Amino acid sequence: MSPLRLASSRPEPEPTCPLGVCDGSGWILGPEDVARPCECRAPRLARRRARGVASAIPQRFRGASFDRPPVSDMARDKGRAPVVKAVREFTESIDDRLAEGRGLWLMGDVGTGKTTLAMIVSKAAVEAGHTVAIYSLPRLLARIRRTYDAETGEDSYLEFFHRLTSVDLLHIDDLGAQKSSDWVLEQLYAIVDERYAAERAMVVTSNLGYEELREQIGPRVVSRLTEMCQELPLYGEDLRDRA
């Protein structure tokens, strides 16, 4: 016999409108009992659709900012300063950039600050109220494989794919890190092509250059990323070694 679940005596919290306009339902009742959607409804629906994707900023990067190392050090480095400036400009106009479907592609050597800068972008998007999905490529592919197992109780492939391609910003770290196969190429192309067609932004990082990435993940994916994203090369010494 399964254990009884006792009902809580604590009342459920009443839904509230973050704008203080509707009664929390997402609808405003107008003249002649005609309802119109509140401005809070669209972002609420977007967040609901985004449930089931990894959207939290990892612990290591929650304190990342332009005013703290390693980014503040990068801003004083002649070779890296233009990239930091471009990322700062992107975050300062995050609403417009995401509305246009514009993103960033940070490429270069290991330990040059690519992931930290990308996380600052994702953090800015979250703080601005946008929906974000954050994955390393190996973790994303593992998550997709789990959708094939109906016993996990998680989203089906189509449900997860829809969530992944409908968030305002998709952040993929270590693009090209996974060993290439027909299945990997198929998954990447499907995701990137869907977001390309829908004009939804991406921020990606990769240790591989343009030509190397074409060989690793295919020219069709790279071609779309080139059109969707501003390319920002980061080369130089490993900041982790310096630390």
Q: In the chain, where are the structural domains located?
A: 15-44, 51-242
Per-residue confidence band for 97, with pLDDT thresholds at 50, 70 and 90: very high
Q: Alpha carbon 163 to chain centroid distance?
A: 11
Closest CA to 137 of 61, 207, 60, 86: 207
Contact 170, 133 (CB under 8 A): yes
The CATH architecture that domain 51-242 belongs to is 3-Layer(aba) Sandwich (3.40)
Task: Tell me: pLDDT of 82 over 70.
Answer: yes
CA distances in angstroms from 97 to 104, 131, 184, listed in the order given: 10, 14, 28
Per-residue confidence band for 240, with pLDDT thresholds at 50, 70 and 90: low
* 88 token code pair: 């700062």
pLDDT computed for residue 232 by the predictor = 96
* 127 token code pair: 């703080």
What is the pLDDT averaged over residues 9-14? 44
The CA distance from 83 to 129, in Å, is 25
How much is the pTM?
0.77
**Of 40 and 56, more confident:** 56
What is the pLDDT averaged over residues 26-40? 64
Contact 120, 113 (CB under 8 A): no
Beta strands in 52-200 (DSSP E): 103-108, 132-136, 169-173
pLDDT computed for residue 35 by the predictor = 67
What are φ and ψ of residue 36, in 5° steps? Answer: -130, 150
pLDDT computed for residue 182 by the predictor = 92
**Of 8 and 240, more confident:** 240
* Residue-wise pLDDT tens digits, 169-215: 999 999 988 788 999 999 999 999 999 999 999 999 999 888 889 99
